[in-house]
Structure formats: C-alpha cells, structure tokens
Amino acid sequence: MPEDEPSGLRRRAVLGGVGAAVAASAVAPVARAADALTQPGQARESDFTTGWRFALANPDGVTDPGGRFTDAAKPAFDDSGWQVVDVPHDWSIELPPTDKGTSSGSGFFRGGLGWYRKTFTLPPSLAGKRVSVEFDGVYSDAHVYLNGELLGNHPYAYTGFAFDLTGRLHTDGRTPNVLAVRATNPLPSSRWYSGSGIYRRVRLVVTEPVHVARHGTFVTTPDIAAGRGTVRVATDVVNDSGASVTVQVRTTVTDPAGRVVANGSATVAVAAGRTATAAGELRVERPQLWSGEKPRLYRLRTDVVVAGRVLDTTTTDFGFRYTEFHPDNGFSLNGVPMKLRGVNLHASQGALGAVIDPAALEHQMRLMLAMGVNALRTAHNPPDPQLVTVCERLGIVMMVEAFDCWRTGKLEYDYHRDFDAWSGRDIAEMVHAAKNSPAVVLWSIGNEVPDASMAGGPQIAADLIAAVRAIDPTRPVVMGSDRYRGVPAPGSPQDLILKQLDGLGVNYNTAQSIDGLHKQYPDKFFFESESSSATSTRGVYQEPDLLNTGENYTPGKRATSSYDNNLASWTFSGEYSLKKDRDRKFFQGQFLWSGQDYLGEPTPYDVFPVKTSFFGAIDSAGLPKDAFHLFRSQWTTAPMVHLTPMDWTNHRAGEPVAVWVYSTVDTVELVLNGKSLGVEKFDRKTTADGRPYLETSEPVGDDKKDPSGSYTSPNGGRGKLHLTWTVPFEPGTLTAIARAGGREVARDELVTAGPPRAVKLRVEAPGGGVVAGAMTFMTASVVDARGVVVPGAEPVLRFAVRGPGRVAGVDNGRQELAQSYQQPTIPAFKGLAVAVVAATGGRGPITVTASAPGLVPGTITLPGTPLGQRNGPGARAVETAVVPAASTADASYSGAPDTLPAAMLDGNPATGWSNYYVKQATSTLNAVSRPRAEDWVSLSWPSAQRISAVTANFVVDAKLALPVAVEVTHRTARGFEPVRNLRITWGTGSNDPTSFAFDPVVTTEVRVTMTARGFLRISALLAR
C-alpha cells in the first residue's frame, strides 16, 4: 500500500468524488423519520446505505402470497412493521439453512422475494440539479420505484446500474420521497451461493446539468518510456441543459504522495441534450510504476468548467504499468517475467454471506497474499468495485469475468433468460466499472459456457469481444473453458472462438493437452483459469499412500483428506497442477480453484447439512488448510516449513503417522522429543528454460497418460513437492527444522495437547497487514493448560460483545454444519472457530469475550471506530440451538451414501453399513477401490445400558469378507476401554449372525473395531 495512504481502505467512487452528504436522521426501530440531505452542493455523491426498511415477502418463491405487497412501492404504504436494515444486506444468510425447497448448490439457503424501502427528504437547493441513484449490485432482477413510479429494472445481479431521478423528486425539504426496490432470487438461480437483496452499495449522485457522464473518464498510460510517462485521458461530458455550451475540461494528476505532477485542459462544445468527449494527453516525469511489490497509485482530478465556473469535479485513481501476455515467453509486468499465481474466488464472504464489506474483502485478499497469490479471477461475474480497489492497493492483478453462461443456461433461473436482451449492456458495464484500474489485466467473456461447443457460439463470442474492445482496446480478451481438453477440430465452434480471442484460460487440462493447444495455436497465449480443485477439510487426513481416496459418508464425519489426495473425476492434485504450470515457460500461470471454501457446491457430497465447498486453500472461516502451505511453498521464497498433519494429539501410541513437510528450503530435519528422525532433502533442479526449483526424484505415479506413469517435466524430472517421513506416534513435540547452509532458517512445531483448559482469542492480521475497518476477524482457540490448541476439542463457543459492536457472523470452517452463521454461538472445529465482529460506529472500546462451559474464557479489546452500521450484518441474528439428530448407530467410515450405519438397524437384510467404495478415475489417475485396514461400528443409547453381547450379521461375497480380528470396547469416563473375556462365535454363512460375548458392562456406547483384508458389510447390528 502506498506510504501516503491511510491504513484503512479509501472508498472507491465509481463516478468520482467521495462525500457524505446524506446525514443520518436514520430510521430507528421505534421512532421513524426521513433522512435529510444536508450541506447541499458540497458533495457529488452521498452514501445511501442506511435507514432502509426490508420485508421478506416470500422466502420460498418469487410470488406475493395473498397480494400483501401489491402496493409496496407506493409512498403511502405502511412499512412501519418492516425490519430496519442498512445495506449492503443479504437476507438469505439471515435465514436458517434447510433442505426443504433448496439444494446444495445454494448451500441449502433460501431465496425468494424481498422488498426494500427508503424514505428521505431533499432541500430546495437541489431544484434544477441532476439527481440519480446508483446501485453497485442487487441479487437479483431489481425493480426500482420512486414515489410509486417504476424507474426500470435490472436483471443481472453482478453489474451496477443507475436511474435518473431528476424531475420525479420532491425538493421542498418537507415532502418525503420513497425509493422502493423489489428483488427476487428464484431457486435454482446460481450454481453456488449467491445471497439475496441489495448486497452492494447504493449512492445518491447530485450534479449540475453539465457534468461528467457516469463512467465518463477513461485513463490509459500508453507510452511509458525511460524517465517519463504519457497519461491519455478521455472525458465524456453530458449537457442536460437546454442550450449548447462550450466546456473546458481541466485535468490534474497527483502522484502517490499527493504532489501535483501534471496539468492539462481541453475544450469541447456540447450540444443541448448531448454528450461529447474531450481528449488530451499529459506528461509525467519519472513515473512510479504500479507493481505487485509497490502498487503505486496516481490520481486524476477532472474539473468541468463553463464560463469560468466549476460545475463538476471527479477523481479517478490509476497507475503506470505495462503488461505483456506472450504466447511463448509468458506474462510480464513492467517488463519483468512472472507467473500468474492466481486464485478463483466467488463473491460471498463466509459468515457474512454475500454482503460486501471492504474490511472483509481486504482480510480475504491479505490471506491470499500470504499464500503468495499475485492474481485473482472474479469467478464467474463482475466484481464489486470495492474488490477492485482492494486489489489495486495490494498489488494483485485481476482477470475480470462477465458470465457463467450465455444463451444456453446451466440452471432453470440463471442468466441465460436475460442474455439476449442484456448481455451487451452488462459486459459494457463490467468494462466501464473497472477500466481505469491498473490491477485489471484481462477481460473474460465467460466461464465454461455450453455455447462454446454449439453452432451459435462463435457469433456470440464475436459480439461480446466487440463490445469489450469498443470500450477498452488496451487489454486482452479471454474466456475460461472446460471445452478445450483436446485440440479442437478445424472449423469447430471451439476453434472459431479461440481464433477470435487473444488467449484462453483452460480448466483442468492435462499437461499433454496444454502442450497440444500451444502447438496448434502458436499465436495465442494459454493459462489455467481453474487448476487443481483437490478437496480437503482442515485437520482431516486419510490414506496418505493413496493418490486418490474415497469419501466418508457417515453423518457427522463427511469430510475429505488434507493429504492433497481427494480428487473428483475432472480434478488434479495441487502438486500436479503446480508442476505442469512451472515447467512451461509459455504458460502464463494458473488460478487455483479455489482460494477459499465458499457456500454451495459441496463436492463430493450432495446432502444436508454439508453446505460449503471443499476446494479452498483456506476454509470458509479463513483458517488455512495444508493446501495453503503447499502453494505457499511454491509461490513464495522466504524460508518457511510446514508440518502435515497439523495434529500431533489424536493418534494411538506406536501408530505409524505419515508426516509430510512443505518447505521453500531444500534441507529439513525432523525431530521428535529432542531425538532426530533424520534429514530429508529436495533435489535442486532447473526447468528447461533455466528457472530453479526444488523437488524430490522418486516417481510419483500421478499421470497414467505419461509413458513413465508419472508426470515428467521437459527436463526429465519426476518427483514430489513435499518431503516424507513415517513416524511411530509418541506424545510430545514434533519439530521440522529447515536449514540453509547449515543454519536454521525456519521451523514448524506440533505439540501433543492435554485436556481443554481455556479459550484464547486473537485478532487475525494475515501477512502482518493491519486491516482497518468496520469488520474485525478474530479466532477463538480451545487450548490446554500450556496454551496448546486441542485439535479434538469441539465445545460450543459463545461470543459476547460489550461496547459499540456486535457479532456479525461466526464460522468454524467445517463443511458439514447444520446451523446458521448469523448467531453468536458455534462449536469449535479442530479446536478453532472464528467470529466476525462488526463495529456500530459508537464511541469507546469494543470488548469481545469467547466462552465455553468449563473453560476459562478469552477476552480481547478492540479500539472503537467511527465506521460501522447500526443495522448491518448480524444485527438481526438470533441464537438457534442445533439439536443433533439422534444416532444410535455410528461408524468410523461409510463408503457410499446408501451404506450408512443406520442401515444396520432398519430390519432389512438387503441393506446395511459398508466401508466398500469405488473412487472414480480421473484423467491422470486410475480408479481406486482398496480395502481399508481397519474400521469400527458402534451402538449408543441416551442413558447407560447393561449389555453382555453384540451380534453382527456380516455379508460375504467376492468383494466383501469377514474381519480377521475384532476388538470390542465400551465407553467409560476415561474413554473407550476393552471389554473383558471376549468370546467370538462366527456365523457359518453370509448374513449369518456373529456373536461377540463378554462380561457384562454398563455403558452408553459399545464399539466393534474390525481389522480386515477385504471390504466389510454388516446388515444388522444388535446389542443385548
């Protein structure tokens, strides 16, 4: 961030100048008044986000049952019973998740029909002014009314829009104006969680009749020569007066320190009711370039002057930088070669839902920076302008994307319904909104659109490309696609579209297919717009010796392995994606799918309450997974080392634990309780074009398409991006020490935790950056007496706030979570949870306490801030206890959705529990179906029972076998303990009962642990 900038983000104005001309005589819950416009003429635009009233007309559909809201747009409509809200607002995240009428795609959240109303007055001084209202985004199909009159509608949720209010407003200072917005979210309308409502900012814009048009300034820096830079400015001036005028457009450039470095002016005649463009160039001596390391921003001030009077002033931030996407040499910024180390991110913000908050956006992007990210793809829609601001101030380049579909839809209610009528306007809005940002380097016309392989696709692409280039011919136009995994046939729609594009983002391509495309289209540049998509759950590990593992479908245990080894049929491991990108100089880079888990698309599960994705390098709460450290080890250069698994507690004595180490250093020693377990080293290798890297040399077996069976780089290298040890578990301290030249440069340490003792609170400041704003992210850790996080602790944490703040949302990163995020309590997951605390703009400190029964609470105090909203996120949160479903049968692992533990109790011998699974093949890996070495099943009761035997009906066939050894344990106050005098009577045939008898015990749970050489299936389980 430039040194002259404050630590908080400066708000980016789409139209230019920033102001706060709307004062809050805001609507209060009990005493309602209209907002009053004060200090007229001092601000071009006014924040219009407070004092709204909201009613959820129908959460289950877009109709108005009973016609209760037929007159909701009329000024006289009684909205006194509506909720008071500040926008941005997302009504879906405030509703409890449910599997009734929803789907996993929406994260099991509802949408429906909602209404917003805002009442305000305007002073007589605004008579004769031009007044408009601007929305950055409404989900979706916004219909906007003023004083009962429909101004118009805007279907697309991800582009901004404005309506002219001039001539329709009361400006006597007394008569209220009523702005009403109708928004709908018909399900299914999105493949991921979208949120619902006015989820982005709203502004009131006041100008003279002669003014700069909306998005009317375009700044480019076409010539950056040694010692000087050219600033080319095009300014669209609107004349809404009744007479022609001669306008002088004065431009002033200030550098990052605020010093004036250039001035210019141009004169243009503008006819009445018309728009004209004033163009000019300025020279800046010794311009400071915008880059990832030093994202220096300049500011252009534009004054519209008529007859010596300044009628309008806007400001536009821009940067000096130049880029190249070379088909052979890759991407460069300011002449410096660099790979795109990118991530995909959807627009939602975890526990905040779709609500756009600048501090939350900065927090998220600083987490990405800490992983080594330098690029963001706005998947799969135009971003909020505030996200563009964050990226340009943090030095992150952007691929801004327009649509997830064109004319052919993917869901019943997605954008395909509006594409023909609106796509030209929406893609133009996308370009206009971000065209001045130095962060934006690519425009994308779509993602995985079905039309790309249809006859009409090339013409659609041509129209979209032309619409982009008509506004901005300076940046390449690309798309992201899954329809180029082979070289297209000549003349096919894919071929014709690619020939029109400047470059192509491929999704989930093998190394071989990437090489084939590069050879066939040597004048196009290629990158991976979606890479890897390996799934993982923070702190969960499974079968590290397998390159692809099955999933556990047992309720309460639906998770995936963090050993970079859980892959869907179309995906790749993170290591494979990193290697194929690294080894190809021509490849511009990659965008990992995804930077963070997001609500919806919970692959590989499709069952309530699994409601977030598993793809992220960090979880939905913002807590890093092991994948974060894998990419960090390849995308950063500072010494680092990371131990996987992140748990040295929940293992049995002597159990062999696969320990992986990610590091940017070639030599690592592993030490357990002071005893060295040996030193492992990466080999130092060099790509075919001379770039150094670290990798082991053992064949991985990760690419069945390669003749060797392993991914092989052009230099012949094969290997892993991690070091491995197998360590018999022993409680204590496990340490990884990274050394360079014999000197320790980094270490990571895991300590066996004792019983939970306390809750510890800390404020997250990723990468050492300070995120100032109305939202603060804090992590609660359940720790033992020594302060060690207890990875198995999952007590319910309660967050309480004193002072001018509130809990805006809570999350623990667990994908299988039935509860709402909008409440002050949440169970810890793997010992951790996160609370988002929102300031309410009052004076005094904000004190946050996290507590749990039987634990010492943790407290932290934050300084107060004038920022914040009284009725923003979390203001309507209601604590709702989530009662777990009664489960009398459980299992360590269930291999399929229809072989769950409950099937052992349904009395049907044709159904039952099983650990049998088949993991589908991927494009580089064979299918997997390997018997598990050990699993357990159990029976439990609400109150203690006296039992002396368990009977299990084992199914035996060509795939299923009897266990070779069985242990029966029962729950005690000390944990599970073996029963005494176990006696086994094996059944004589398939599905015959096998009896496990033992000395009587009184317990609430009995567990049967089975060692096996084949898969297991039990059709009935009974205790007596």
Catalytic status, residue 749: no
Q: Are 561 and 606 in contact (CB under 8 A)?
A: no
Query: What is the rounded CA–CA span in Å between residue 477 and residue 166?
Result: 37
Q: Are 448 and 479 in contact (CB under 8 A)?
A: no
Is the torsion defined by CA of 494, 495, 500, 504 positive or negative? positive
The amino acid occupying position 646 is M
Query: What is the rounded CA–CA span in Å between residue 162 and residue 156?
Result: 13
Query: What is the rounded CA–CA span in Å between residue 616 and residue 602?
Result: 11
Query: What is the rounded CA–CA span in Å between residue 678 and residue 697?
Result: 18
Distances in whole angstroms, Cα of residue 641 to Cα of each of 366, 553, 610, 746: 20, 33, 32, 6
The H or E element spanning position 344 is strand 340-345
Catalytic residue among 94, 401, 530, 669: 530
Distances in whole angstroms, Cα of residue 758 to Cα of each of 799, 809, 849, 855: 14, 22, 12, 5
Query: What is the rounded CA–CA span in Å between residue 188 and residue 413?
Result: 6
> CB atoms < 10 A from the CB of 1002, how many?
10
Catalytic status, residue 816: no
Backbone angles phi, psi at 500, to 5 degrees: -85, -30
> Whose structure tokens read 């005893």?
675
Strands 375-378 and 340-345: parallel
Sequence-ordered strand ranges (E) for 186-308: 202-207, 210-220, 224-225, 228-239, 245-254, 260-270, 275-285, 298-306
> Whose structure tokens read 């923070």?
538
The H or E element spanning position 371 is none
Q: Helices 419-434 and 457-471 sit at what angle, rounded to 10 degrees? A: 30
Catalytic residue among 94, 429, 448, 601: 448
> CB atoms < 10 A from the CB of 310, how many?
12
Is the torsion defined by CA of 319, 324, 330, 336 positive or negative? negative
Query: What is the rounded CA–CA span in Å between residue 1002 and residue 712?
Result: 59
Enzyme catalytic residues: 448, 530
